[in-house]
Structure 1
Amino acid sequence: MRSIVFASGKGGVGKSTVTLNLGLTLAAAGKRVVVVDADLEMANIGILLGIDATPISLHNVLSGENEMQDAVYAGPNNMRYVPASLSPEKMDRLDLDKLPSAIKKLEESSDFVLIDCPPGLGASATAAIKSAKEIVIVSTPEPSALADALKVRALAERHGVKIAGVVLNMVLGDRSEIRKEDFETVMEVPVIGLLPEDVEVRRSAALQVPVMIRAPGCNFSRSMRALAARLSGEKLAIQETKVKKGLLSSLMEFFGRIFGRK
């Protein structure tokens, strides 16, 4: 039973995409996986899954209205997920101190609890990091991202959270980027995954179908399977599911569900 928080020093590095698709990959290999959207201000997991507002979210749990098991939903590949609310009105009355015990309840019935942490070093991010046993720092191979990753590492060390490694996302592989070896030298943390820049990731986000499902053979998906094997320490047999959906129909259906409600 492992609880792993995926954190970054800044937004825009693809942290939510990494967390969700890793969860789907592990679940497709038969692991019991729960993905928790702990980005309480800018929830993304539900949007990436093409799911509109759910009746109960992590916000309801942290406000004391519901128990954690009430906020768990079935997702693709037998993965489960806990959404955060898409409504800004739900930010009132949140008790961040409830998050560690809520995560612990999920650990009892899971092989992996993957927590999508808010970017930065604020109160919500700190609460998410403290709630996990391990942390994976998601970054991109550029100087500003490295500087931010160092701050996240320091925060994790301050709270005694084991650093499982760094995932470098959106890798182009050209000379303008910081090399993996140099990133490891500065961070003093192993890089456990290199995920390439891939147009299929952007297309999948637009279609609201995770790339591991929509494009399992693309470069990003192949690298994600390697990351899942590295993180689990096992050779994984992964069942793949492919779903196709049109962009226009996806967007109309999604936003129609949200804004069609009173």
Structure 2
Amino acid sequence: MGQETVYAIASGKGGVGKTTTTVNLGTALAGAGARVAIVDADLGMANLAGFVSLSPGSATLHDVLAGEATVEEATYRLAENIVGVPSGNDLSEYAATAPEGLGDVVDTLREDADYVLLDVGAGVSHETVLPLGLADAVVIVATPEPAAIQDAAKTIDLVDRVDGELAGLLVTRTHPSGDVPAEKIASRLDVDLLGAIPEDTAVRASLYAGTPLVVHDPESPAATAYRTLASTLAGDELETDGSGADAPNTSTDDSSTGGSPGTDSTDDDAPDGDTTDDETPEDGATTDAPTDDDASSDDVSAAITDAEADS
């Protein structure tokens, strides 16, 4: 393909919607006919499996990076045209991983996939910075909240430090009033704006259902915005029909698909559907805690200025 095909979905702050974006962007691309692989590159705090009700079998990305399994053995079919490579939740297995092997994993997946999406962990560490340089381009995810914008600026700086490429900024959990416009945030951070995902209660429902939003409620405002994001990144090579991909498999057996995106598999064990992670609730979720509306425009602008000064 004559464009970026490996995207790192990143942000320095947890809870801004990286995993939700990875899952729904990937599902939207797959629903339009592209072959997609999504990878849980958050090695220490894995959560991708729970977002799609996937219970990994005998192999995960941890095993691959420890030299104990192949990429094919840790690859699971989620739905038509889309596969996932989950990370494990065992800390002892995490300690045995060699993150440097992620490059080989990406190279293997891109042989069969039109798009590879890396769900990158929050914070600054070797394993979170590494994907920023491996990807063809990095999608920065942030909410209009001051701390998220500060961390987005730091992540942008990290991308530059590892000679990575920026795809642009995605602003999540936006409101029609009360927030600094996404365009202004992108302008002040000096990055292209890829899109804005509105606050949407359907996101929370999809998280608990363990089903991507673009399948769970395809006509919801946030689902529509994710399909628009897919079209923006894919350009003329993608024509979304608004239907999304098929609902993902909700069970696995003790073996992976061992195949490429679009291959079938038959699984037996029921999933745990666990969605407990540092991104739940996230973009579109509603809680009793203060919302992003509490941050004034002046606070956000100040946060951007401070972040620029720190970069």
TM-score under structure 1 length normalisation: 0.89
Comparing 131-140 and 179-188, the one that deviates more: 179-188
SS in structure 1 of the partner of residue 63 of structure 2: helix
Q: Where do 1:186-205 residues align within 5 Å?
A: 186-205=188-207
1:145 maps to what in 2?
148
Q: Where do 1:239-250 residues align within 5 Å?
A: 239-240=243-244
- Amino acid across the alignment from 1:97: E
- Amino acid across the alignment from 1:168: V
- Give the alignment partner of residue 226 of structure 1, picking from 222, 225, 228: 228
Call closer, same or farther: CA 1:227–1:241 in 2, change over 3 Å.
Answer: closer
Q: Assess if the C-alpha contact under 8 Å between 2:38 and 2:117 holds in 1.
A: yes
- Give the alignment partner of residue 10 of structure 1, picking from 9, 13, 18: 13
Give the 4+ runs in structure 1 shifted more than 6 A: none
Q: CA RMSD in A?
A: 1.9
1:47 maps to what in 2?
50
Deviation string, structure 1 residues 140-182 (Cα, Å, up to 9, x no partner): 012211110010001001111110001001111222x222232
- Give the alignment partner of residue 185 of structure 1, picking from 184, 187, 206: 187
- Amino acid across the alignment from 2:215: I
5+ long unaligned stretches in structure 1: 245-252, 258-262
- Give the alignment partner of residue 109 of structure 1, picking from 109, 112, 126: 112
SS in structure 2 of the partner of residue 85 of structure 1: coil
CA distance in 2, matches of 1:222, 1:120: 29
Q: Assess if the C-alpha contact under 8 Å between 1:216 and 1:242 holds in 2.
A: no
SS in structure 2 of the partner of residue 56 of structure 1: coil
- Amino acid across the alignment from 2:57: T
5+ long unaligned stretches in structure 2: 249-269, 275-311
Call closer, same or farther: CA 1:87–1:199 in 2, change over 3 Å.
Answer: same
- Amino acid across the alignment from 1:61: V
- Amino acid across the alignment from 2:217: A
2:305 maps to what in 1?
none
User: 1:206: how far off?
Assistant: 1.0
Aligned residues: 248
1:215 maps to what in 2?
217
2:62 maps to what in 1?
59
1:260 maps to what in 2?
none
Identity %: 33
SS in structure 1 of the partner of residue 219 of structure 2: coil
CA distance in 2, matches of 1:255, 1:128: 28
- Give the alignment partner of residue 166 of structure 1, picking from 153, 166, 169: 169
Q: Relative contact order, CA 8 A, sep 6+: which one is greater?
A: 2
Comparing 109-118 and 63-72, the one that deviates more: 63-72
Deviation string, structure 1 residues 170-201 (Cα, Å, up to 9, x no partner): 111222x2222321222110111110111010
- Give the alignment partner of residue 70 of structure 1, picking from 47, 50, 73: 73
Deviation string, structure 1 residues 30-88 (Cα, Å, up to 9, x no partner): 10110001111111111011112321111011101122222111112321111111222
SS in structure 1 of the partner of residue 140 of structure 2: strand
CA distance in 2, matches of 1:105, 1:169: 31
1:126 maps to what in 2?
129
TM-score under structure 2 length normalisation: 0.76
- Amino acid across the alignment from 1:53: P
Comparing 65-74 and 202-211, the one that deviates more: 65-74
SS in structure 1 of the partner of residue 80 of structure 2: helix
Q: Assess if the C-alpha contact under 8 Å between 2:27 and 2:244 holds in 1.
A: no
1:27 maps to what in 2?
30
Q: Assess if the C-alpha contact under 8 Å between 1:53 and 1:86 holds in 2.
A: no
CA distance in 2, matches of 1:19, 1:74: 16
Q: Assess if the C-alpha contact under 8 Å between 2:27 and 2:245 holds in 1.
A: no
User: 1 or 2, which has the higher helix percentage?
Assistant: 1
- Give the alignment partner of residue 83 of structure 2, picking from 80, 84, 97: 80
Call closer, same or farther: CA 1:196–1:180 in 2, change over 3 Å.
Answer: same
CA distance in 2, matches of 1:113, 1:160: 19
CA distance in 2, matches of 1:209, 1:230: 23
Q: Assess if the C-alpha contact under 8 Å between 1:100 and 1:130 holds in 2.
A: no
CA distance in 2, matches of 1:47, 1:220: 20
